């Protein structure tokens, strides 16, 4: 499921020739009307151009609406963005040595020639490996054993050469193991292109389809299924079948979703017997599946598992003559049910409970195996694995830390007793295990190497912070063992809190340098996620969205009161929908934070959600509300960060965006920064970094992310008074 604000991404430094030429042109003054301050001692100021934003609930004036340009070619707009980048460059110049040290320290914690744990499928072992210094991995397979000669599937370093952005989304090998199809993005706007090549020869075919989702499935040896995007809204809305060697214009339409509040994906079932099309909204799912033999040629072959209904969600998989379904039917936190093939015609009347409904256990995912089901679930704020046999026996995989994350890993072959999963925490490197569902034996397949890292030097805790309404908010903490709890330490607090996406603890090589400098790091598991179950999400979206903001603020105040941190040394960080959180706390509790890092922030809530032409807006009416309806309009207007900027003192701020972002359009943070510059009364630095060559996730490549992070980290440490 692709959501507008779906992941807490980061952006970084601009570097395109376009940006460079514009910055050069700013020496003698900005393009007329784009900004009003060219002096090196004054930040850029965007021109004010009144514009009425219409809605059924009245019009609002927006002086900075002109910064929106869907073509991304407006010279005034580009001039303003270039001026902001130039301003950030000048203000950050003195931090270059610290930025370099932070980046070098991070890279020192990365095993550069690392590889994945191979997994088996159809007699081949698949895996990936990095070469030293490479930004992208080589993806390969070996026939029969992990020591057999490698067949290169993707030489990504070569494929990405000369490109400022490169990403492979989904890829799939044909049933006869001869060809591979993949989705490729070279812009960063998540408009992928379908490509196919012969594995043995390496020859890329002439088959290509533009503007698709990163999701491809083979129906047979000659036919690839894909999801076509709407060219304006970028909503995936049609499933089509492409026969190799034929023009894309003749691709067969298998399904079209007419309701623009739904999005879709395609997949094969665990036993490879069915191809399924899943459509999903915030509160409803529908899945239609066809036997593989008819999936490419007959739209009528796709039968609905259960018809859609509001507040009814489910996902089905098939193995061993039965369907297994994760559903919220009579189970708010989800349960598993099973349906015999012979009972499919009975609809939900044929469903039989496999697990009970629970108020404390939230089922996140599952994977069927021969004779048992591996269940990925949450309990007490932690994600864990439970094995459930067909005979009804249940076995939990154990953990020894207060805050951790387990998750099912790649399990492509269901006819095995061995279940592969990963485990990690804020101090324990990600470890890949497999456990035997019959004997309970567990073995380590790999511990992710973190050179120069000693987990004994760090301490992790799980604390519970009281929110203002009495709710206890789980918080995952980590700090160096020598940091004293005396109210003097600097704190970096992070959260997301939307879409039911949970933020689980894990090691980040880019965070180790912060911990070594005495920074306490905390993840606030605020409402809006699903760490504590579906009710946790319900209490943090729509007309309960303010709980996400107040939870974050209350966690900060609790950690300060408990002397984990100094009151005047608190940093807050969030991206995407977490950037909305940052904008909200900046307006609601600016005095609680010394510095705020807001990456690709969704800050112009009402205007964006009024515009159905903006990519992905219609998916999200059940997440934020539809502002065409007055109760939602009034509520959203009350917290929308852009609409609530006033003349007051704000913390130091670092704001990042990407010009080609399709999820949070660049003009949201651009407008927000412009309004902050106009109204804020403090002298604290406000820096706006626009990546002119990337989208929601910033520039691609494993090292580039750390280069980008090093900049905001250096700025943050300076503001917190931490020695470099």
* Residues annotated as catalytic (active site), given as ranges: 576, 661, 696
In angstroms, the CA 465 to CA 471 distance is 8
Q: Choose among 81, 189, 95, 69: nearest CA to 673.
A: 81
Cβ proximity of 221 and 201 under 8 Å: no
In angstroms, the CA 363 to CA 587 distance is 36
In angstroms, the CA 374 to CA 383 distance is 13
Tell me the C-alpha to C-alpha distance, in Å, between residue 503 and each of 8, 399, 499, 525, 614: 10, 18, 11, 7, 27
Cα distance from N-terminal residue to C-terminal residue, the chain: 40
Give the other-Cβ count within 10 Å of 307's Cβ.
11
Q: Give me the DSSP letters along 287-320.
A: EEEEEHHHHTT-GGG-EESS---TTB-EEEEEET
In angstroms, the CA 414 to CA 391 distance is 17
In angstroms, the CA 300 to CA 117 distance is 40
Q: Choose among 530, 537, 541, 555: nearest CA to 379.
A: 530
In angstroms, the CA 610 to CA 614 distance is 9
Contact residues for 137 (Cβ-Cβ < 8 A; gap 6+):
115, 116, 128, 129, 130, 156
Give the other-Cβ count within 10 Å of 122's Cβ.
14
In angstroms, the CA 670 to CA 62 distance is 13
Q: Choose among 529, 499, 525: nearest CA to 362.
A: 529
| DSSP summary character for residue 164 | S
Q: Give me the DSSP letters along 184-196.
A: EESSSSS-EEEEE
Tell me the C-alpha to C-alpha distance, in Å, between residue 157 and each of 107, 268, 702: 18, 29, 11
Burial 511-529 (b: 16+ CB within 10 A, else e): bbbbbebbbbbbbbbbbbb
Strand 458-466 versus strand 442-447 pairing type:
unpaired
Rounded to an integer, what is the distance from CA 233 to the centroid of its chain? Answer: 19
Burial 334-358 (b: 16+ CB within 10 A, else e): bbbbbbeeeeeeeeeebbeebbeeb
Q: What is the sign of the dihedral through the CA atoms of 694, 698, 702 and 708? A: positive
Helix (H, G, I), strand (E, B) or coil at 609: helix
């Amino acid at each position: 499921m692709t959501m507008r604000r779906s992941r807490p991404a980061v952006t970084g430094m601009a570097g395109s020739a376009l940006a460079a030429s514009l910055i050069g042109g700013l020496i003698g003054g900005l393009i007329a009307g784009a900004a009003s301050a060219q002096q090196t001692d004054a930040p850029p100021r965007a021109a004010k151009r009144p514009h009425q934003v219409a809605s059924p609930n009245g019009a609002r004036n927006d002086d900075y609406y002109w910064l929106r340009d869907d073509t991304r070619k407006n010279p005034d707009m580009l001039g303003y963005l270039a001026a902001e980048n130039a301003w950030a460059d000048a203000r950050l110049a003195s931090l270059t040595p610290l930025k370099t040290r932070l980046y070098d320290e991070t890279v020192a914690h990365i095993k550069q020639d690392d590889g994945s744990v191979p997994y088996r499928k159809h007699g081949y072992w698949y895996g990936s490996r990095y070469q030293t210094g490479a930004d992208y991995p080589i993806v390969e397979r070996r026939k029969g054993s992990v020591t057999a000669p490698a067949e290169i599937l993707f030489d990504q370093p070569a494929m990405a050469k000369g490109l400022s952005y490169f990403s492979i989304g989904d890829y799939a090998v044909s049933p006869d193991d001869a060809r591979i199809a993949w989705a490729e993005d070279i812009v960063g706007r998540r408009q992928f292109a379908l490509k196919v090549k012969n594995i043995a020869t390496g020859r890329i075919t002439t088959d290509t389809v533009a503007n698709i989702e990163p999701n491809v499935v083979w129906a047979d040896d000659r036919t690839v299924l894909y999801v076509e995007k709407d060219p304006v809204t970028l909503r995936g809305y049609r499933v089509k079948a492409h026969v190799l060697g034929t023009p894309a214009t003749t691709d067969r339409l298998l399904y079209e979703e007419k309701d623009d509040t739904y999005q879709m994906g395609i997949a094969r079932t665990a036993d490879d017997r069915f191809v399924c099309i899943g459509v999903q909204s915030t509160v409803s799912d529908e899945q239609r599946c066809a036997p593989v033999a008819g999936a490419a040629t007959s739209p009528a072959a796709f039968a609905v598992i259960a018809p859609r209904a509001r507040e009814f969600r489910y996902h089905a998989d098939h193995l061993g003559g039965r369907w297994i379904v994760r559903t919220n039917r009579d189970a708010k936190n989800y349960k598993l049910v099973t349906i015999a093939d012979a009972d499919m015609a009975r609809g939900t009347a044929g469903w039989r409970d496999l697990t009970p409904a629970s108020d404390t256990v939230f089922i996140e995912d599952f994977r069927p195996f021969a004779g048992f089901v591996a269940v990925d679930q949450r309990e007490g704020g932690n994600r864990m694995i439970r094995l459930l046999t067909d005979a009804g026996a249940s076995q939990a995989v154990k953990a020894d830390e207060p805050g951790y994350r387990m998750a099912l890993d790649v399990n492509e072959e269901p006819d095995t007793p061995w279940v592969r999963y990963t485990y990690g925490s804020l101090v324990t490197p990600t470890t890949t295990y497999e456990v035997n569902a019959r004997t309970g034996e567990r073995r380590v397949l790999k511990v992710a190497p973190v050179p120069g890292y000693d987990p004994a030097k760090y301490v992790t805790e799980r604390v519970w912070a009281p929110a203002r309404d009495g709710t206890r908010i789980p918080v995952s903490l980590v700090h160096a063992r020598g940091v004293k709890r005396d109210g003097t330490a600097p704190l970096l607090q992070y959260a997301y809190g939307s879409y039911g996406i949970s933020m689980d603890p894990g090691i980040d090589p880019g965070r180790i340098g912060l911990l070594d400098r005495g920074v306490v790091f905390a993840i606030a598991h605020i409402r809006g996620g699903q760490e504590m179950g579906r009710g946790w999400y319900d209490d943090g979206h729509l007309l309960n969205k303010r709980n996400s903001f107040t939870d974050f603020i209350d966690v900060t105040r609790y950690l300060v009161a408990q002397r984990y941190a100094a009151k005047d040394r608190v940093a807050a960080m969030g991206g995407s929908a977490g950037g909305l959180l940052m904008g909200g706390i900046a307006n609601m509790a600016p005095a609680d934070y010394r510095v705020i890092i807001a990456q690709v922030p969704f800050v112009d809530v009402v205007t964006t959600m009024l515009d159905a032409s903006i990519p992905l807006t219609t998916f999200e009416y059940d997440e934020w509300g539809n502002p065409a309806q007055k109760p939602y309009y009034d509520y959203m207007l009350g917290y929308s960060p852009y609409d609530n900027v006033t003349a007051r003192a704000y913390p130091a701020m670092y704001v990042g965006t990407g010009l080609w972002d399709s999820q949070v359009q660049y003009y949201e943070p651009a407008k927000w920064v412009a309004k902050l510059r106009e109204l804020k009364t403090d002298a604290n630095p406000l820096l706006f970094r626009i990546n002119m060559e990337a989208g929601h996730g910033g520039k691609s490549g494993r090292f580039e992310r750390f280069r980008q992070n090093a900049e905001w980290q250096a700025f943050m440490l300076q503001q917190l008074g931490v020695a470099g």
